Amino acid sequence: MREPLPADMFDELCPSSLNPIRFGDKWAPLIIRCLEGGPRRFSELRVPLRRVTPKVLTASLRALERDGFVERTVYPGSLPRVEYALTPLGRSLLGPLEVACAWAGEHWEELLDAREAYEGGEERRRAG
């Protein structure tokens, strides 16, 4: 039996949300991290990825599958079961993803300051 994914795996203060390096779409790196420990069902992915709508999660999984990073396996039965797993190509992203997350963690304050400054400027630009 697999250990469940922690619900707080990606809390609001997770450096991954500030990572400027994109591995697919906004949610792809988080999905890849969720699949790092082995195959997962959609409902298992929804626990730590609760901020992602089911529609967007489905689209992200399909894009990762299309690009060869994730494989989708359907297990037939009276209640078919679907699992998602990283392919060898997807696993090859774990190292670069770890480096990118570490970089975002080291530059957390700078990234937040830059976003705050930009958003403050946006408000002034709209008002002007």
pLDDT tens for the chain, 128 residues: list them.
688 877 776 666 555 555 555 667 889 999 999 999 999 999 999 999 999 999 999 999 999 999 999 999 999 999 889 999 999 999 999 999 899 888 888 998 998 899 889 988 776 666 66
Q: What is the rounded distance in angstroms from the CA atom of residue 30 to the CA atom of residue 23?
A: 10
* pLDDT score at 26: 84
Domains observed in the chain: 15-127 (1.10.10.10)
* pLDDT score at 2: 81
* pLDDT score at 110: 93
Reported pTM? 0.76
Q: What is the rounded distance in angstroms from the CA atom of residue 96 to the CA atom of residue 62?
A: 21
* pLDDT score at 115: 86
Cβ contacts of 68-73, under 8 Å, gap ≥ 24: 69/24, 69/28, 69/32, 69/93, 70/31, 70/35, 73/39
Residues 6+ apart with CB under 8 A from 74: 80, 81, 82
* pLDDT score at 11: 61
* pLDDT score at 16: 55
